[in-house]
């Protein structure tokens, strides 16, 4: 499998500054998460980095919640079309039947929330981790990508599985970055 095979991700920065991570790295990370979660090989997700005001509007409009949040995902594929387990490598019927580029969905991250959570020690999967803003954005990007692929954390069991999957993806990404000298 070539490095470019599999689902892709595009990154748009509406909110500039505040995080030292390249769009290229974020795109590769989201593509890795999508691949691992069984997204269609011809799929594409869009990750947009925004400010608190923008995500607060989206949160109100689409989630019925007031105020900003750190990440929102807007899947375009039914979660039942994904493998039952993220590590499953089999293709679904939908994956085999679609040849053209297929939108998977959108991920929106508030850079303002990521900055605040990382610096105030309210980041990470436990909500109590102080880490770099770049690491918080990486986590939110993977979290959003998994949501696009049908993952959720509404029960203790599903949360533990999702957190474990996020950790596996982030460790693999870190190892790949080290191998490539970045």
Angle at 57 (CA atoms; ends 55, 59), nearest 5 degrees: 65
**pLDDT score for 144:** 98
- DSSP codes of every residue in 34-50: HHHTT--TTEEEEEEEE
**pLDDT score for 4:** 56
**pLDDT score for 96:** 41
Of 138, 113, 139, which is closest to residue 126 (Cα–Cα)?
A: 139
- DSSP codes of every residue in 89-148: -PPPHHHHH--S-EEEEEEEEEHHHHHHHHHHT-BTTTT-B---HHHHHHHHHHHHHHHH
Residue ranges and CATH numbers for the domains of the chain are 8-179 (3.40.390.30)
Q: What is the pLDDT of residues 94-123, one digit of tens each?
A: 444 444 678 999 999 999 999 999 999 998
Q: How many Å apart are CA 122 and CA 1, to the nearest integer? A: 38
**pLDDT score for 12:** 95
Residues belonging to the chain: 182
Overall average pLDDT of the 67-78 stretch: 95
Model confidence band, residue 90 (pLDDT cutoffs 50, 70, 90): very low
Q: What is the pLDDT of residues 7-29, one digit of tens each?
A: 999 999 998 888 999 999 999 99
Q: Which two tokens stand for residue 181?
A: 């000298």
pLDDT above 90 for 140: yes
| Total-model pTM | 0.88
Overall average pLDDT of the 26-55 stretch: 96
User: Which residues pair with residue 71 across a beta bridge?
Assistant: 109
């Amino acid at each position: 499998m070539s490095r470019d095979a599999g689902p892709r991700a595009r990154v748009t920065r509406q909110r500039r500054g505040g995080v030292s991570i390249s769009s290229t790295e974020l795109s590769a990370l989201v593509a890795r998460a999508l691949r691992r979660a069984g997204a269609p090989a011809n799929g594409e997700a869009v990750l947009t980095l925004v400010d608190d005001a923008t995500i607060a509007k989206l949160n109100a409009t689409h989630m019925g919640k007031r105020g900003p949040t750190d990440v929102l995902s807007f899947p375009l594929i039914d979660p039942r079309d994904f493998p039952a387990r993220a590590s499953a490598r089999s293709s679904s019927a939908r994956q085999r039947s679609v040849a053209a580029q297929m939108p998977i969905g959108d991920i929106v991250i508030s850079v303002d929330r990521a900055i605040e959570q990382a610096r105030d020690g309210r980041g990470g999967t436990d909500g109590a981790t102080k880490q770099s803003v770049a690491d918080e954005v990486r986590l939110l990007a993977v979290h959003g990508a998994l949501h696009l692929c049908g993952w959720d954390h509404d029960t203790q069991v599903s949360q533990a599985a999702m957190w474990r999957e996020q950790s596996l993806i982030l460790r693999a990404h870190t190892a790949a970055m080290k191998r490539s000298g970045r």
